[in-house]
A = this chain, B = another copy of it.
Amino acid sequence: MSNPNLYQLLNPDSVAVIGVSRTEGSIGNTAIKNFVDGGFKGKVYGVNPRYQSVEGYPCYPSLADIPDSVDAVIIAVASHLVENAIHDCIAKKVKYVVIFSSGFAEKGAEGLQKQNEILALCQENGIRAVGPNTIGTYNLKNRILLSFTPLGRMEIVDGDVGVVCQSGATCITLLSTAMEENIGFNYGLTSGNQMDLTSLDFIDFLVEEEETNIIATYIEGVPDGKVLEEISKKALRKHKPIIILKAGRSEAGQRAALSHTASLTGSNEVFRMAAKSLGLTHVQEIEEMVDAIKAFRGRKRPKGNRVATVVISGATGIMLADKLAELDFDLIPLSSATQEKLFEEVPLYCSAANPVDIGQTLLYNPRLYKHCIETLVETEEVDMIVLHLPIGTNAGGLTFAQEIVDVSKTTDKPIIVITTGPERSIAEVRKFLTAHHIPAYSSIRSGAEAAKYLLDYERSYQKLLQTVENDTNSSLERHSLLKGTKSVTEPQVKKLLAQHNIPVPLGFVAKREDEIDKGLSNLKFPVAAKIVSEEITHKSDIGGVVLNIKNEAALREAFKTIMSNAESHDVSDKVDGVLIEEMVESPKQEMIVSIRKDPVFGPIILCGLGGIYVEIMKDVSQRLAPISEKEALEMLQELKCYPLLAGVRNGQIFDISELAKTLSSISKIAQSLEGPWEELEINPLVVLPKGEGVMALDGLITLSEEEGVTKLGTVNKK
């Protein structure tokens, strides 16, 4: 991944605006006016032959005329003039350009070509570019905007949240909506068509940037899944949450994304899985993003999922309990000691069980609220506290809010507040809390989901730290098995599996009938006989498979039948022999396991129970490969049909620990394969009774070729 010093772009000493204008409200005017409004301390130049100066800054006919060097250039001209502007930048040895102009890749093939030409120019001359089709970058901390959105109209709240958006409008909506809620930001970086610098470059910058603690990003496509993986792991190690909204999860949305920022959005299912694996906080709406930012701004970490709530209305208590339960929280009944403590202050007529329902009592004894919060902060029984505060400014809501702030300072336990009621009476209370870094929401759903963001993030943090460390230790020899091969036979796939310690049936390939004798000495009947050929895809179709062969005579018979079938199908010259293998006679469950190359995220491992479970019920589990044994076990436990492996009722218990170990081994094959492979499918991988292990009965590798994708290998029809 490119790693330019983005700091310099965002903090230039000198800037020029090509296409500067004196027309108020125009793009070329706002862009330069932003330096006045921001009190920019560096040098600013306009470039436009019509003016001598604009907004108090000197203006030159061309970039070349500027007497000094220029760090960053804003290009605010029509798309057909951009190429010339880049040439001027090259001549001036400019390092960074920000290209506002639209009319490139988002406009189809012709625009894409134009964009590629400009990109090549930049790359050849060491220029890093933002855009095109972008509103530019905001360094809010230092009030430096390389953007045509007016700084003068923004009410900036300073903070430690950095934003990366592919879409400018979304960046503006997010910042303005969130700052109205007293959430502070330091950067707003929009990547537009991300011809050169992508959203991932910006995210990476924010992960490294010391004063950024939370990263929120809107993307349409992931430029490189592996890079996102690296960045995510780094962010997790630094305990910096990344909140990600990826648009284009539907077909209709994908169509729209292509015409917006020319993004190919990738598979939504894979992204969802990847986000979860990588500890990203995955949201679907701007509102959810704001909610998640609020949650993380609290900087408190839940130790577990035990939550207590204090409510002023019984109905709210029920609805809140419903929502929290739905999100996997444990609304534990409080111990009698804690309940007594809660009752201490006032003899409650209400319930202290959990929800702690203090009802109208609050109005007669204002101390009660704080007492409840303090009690719940002190007890070891709960990991998080969710408070209901439906009390507006006119009824003393700010006083209660101050109490929450005070108590929160004494604890590491997350406290989340739900402030319901008419916006005019409750908004100020909510914003007061947010200003003091207490996550506060105007709906039960938002509040409960915020708690869930925190919980999920902490769980990912704990889990992934281990995984990250494990993975760095794993290094495998590379297999050149696929180098130069045109296709892969079943014995070759099985050899590969065996090299990775994945059990395959005992067997051998007999090219002639007289070779059977020798090979058989190690095998037990019954055996299976399967034709081996680089060119025959569907072996059963040509009578190339015989199963359940009970003795040597029958095997010889089977060999002859297979060979004569090949002859009558006119393929006998392409036959490499017959694979003879022991058959598995134990009770077994059949699994389908595959690794495929996702165009965005690389190798992905999938597993499910064979047959209708995968095909009809779509009961599958996926992860980014490689995975550890522990992760493999989690994958299996996610399957709805997991009880069929673990032993339902009095049924067979299968060898789940060997299966998990094997899944982990399979997941590592991808790292070691070289060549044009698309997918490795093991179908079936049979799981034997506990203690007896697993076995790959058949393997198929799909290769990609120039003329599309060819499936080769075998399918074991039984």
* Given known contacts A313-B167, A318-B253, A325-B251, A173 and B420 CB-to-CB distance under 8 angstroms: yes
Contact with B along A337-355 (1 / 0, CB 8 A): 0000000000001010111
Q: Which residues of B contact A286 (CB under 8 A)?
A: 319, 420, 443-444
A103 and B317 alpha carbons, distance in the complex (Å)? 18
Contact with B along A312-325 (1 / 0, CB 8 A): 11111111011111
Which B residue's beta carbon lies closest to that of A102? B349
A53 on interface, CB distance cutoff 8 Å:
no
A599 on interface, CB distance cutoff 8 Å:
no
A705 on interface, CB distance cutoff 8 Å:
no
Which B residue's beta carbon lies closest to that of A170? B315
A147 on interface, CB distance cutoff 8 Å:
no
A542 on interface, CB distance cutoff 8 Å:
no
Could you say how many copies of this chain the assembly holds? 2
A488 and B253 alpha carbons, distance in the complex (Å)? 58
* Given known contacts A321-B250, A325-B252, A421-B173, A259 and B315 CB-to-CB distance under 8 angstroms: no
Distance between A236 CB and nearest chain B CB, rounded to angstroms: 26
A585 and B348 alpha carbons, distance in the complex (Å)? 69
Which B residue's beta carbon lies closest to that of A354? B252
**Interface contact A256-B321, CB-CB below 8 Å:** yes
CB within 8 Å of B: which A279-317 residues: 284-287, 312-317
* Given known contacts A285-B319, A326-B250, A314 and B616 CB-to-CB distance under 8 angstroms: no
Select A316's contact among B170, B176, B353, B640, beta carbons within 8 Å: B170
Q: Which residues of B contact A177 (CB under 8 A)?
A: 420-423
A518 on interface, CB distance cutoff 8 Å:
no
Contact with B along A245-270 (1 / 0, CB 8 A): 10111111101110111000000000
**Segment touching B, from A67-75, A224-232, A496-504, A641-649:** A641-649
Select A252's contact among B249, B324, B351, beta carbons within 8 Å: B324
Distance between A704 CB and nearest chain B CB, rounded to angstroms: 26
**Interface contact B423-A423, CB-CB below 8 Å:** yes
A424 on interface, CB distance cutoff 8 Å:
yes
Distance between A86 CB and nearest chain B CB, rounded to angstroms: 22
**Interface contact A322-B250, CB-CB below 8 Å:** yes
**Interface contact B390-A247, CB-CB below 8 Å:** no
A463 on interface, CB distance cutoff 8 Å:
no
Distance between A202 CB and nearest chain B CB, rounded to angstroms: 16
**Interface contact A285-B445, CB-CB below 8 Å:** yes
A251 and B331 alpha carbons, distance in the complex (Å)? 9
CB within 8 Å of B: which A163-189 residues: 165-167, 169-170, 173, 176-177, 179-180
Distance between A257 CB and nearest chain B CB, rounded to angstroms: 5
Q: Which residues of B contact A325 (CB under 8 A)?
A: 250-253
A109 on interface, CB distance cutoff 8 Å:
no
Which B residue's beta carbon lies closest to that of A268? B322
Which B residue's beta carbon lies closest to that of A249? B322
**Interface contact A315-B169, CB-CB below 8 Å:** yes
CB within 8 Å of B: which A44-59 residues: none
7 interchain residue pairs of minimum CB distance: A260-B314, A250-B325, A169-B313, A167-B315, A253-B322, A252-B331, A252-B321
A-B contact list, 30 entries, CB within 8 Å: A103-B349, A167-B314, A169-B312, A169-B315, A169-B316, A170-B313, A173-B313, A173-B420, A173-B421, A176-B422, A180-B424, A245-B319, A248-B318, A250-B325, A252-B321, A252-B331, A253-B319, A255-B353, A256-B314, A257-B318, A259-B314, A259-B351, A259-B353, A260-B315, A284-B445, A285-B445, A286-B420, A287-B445, A616-B644, A617-B617
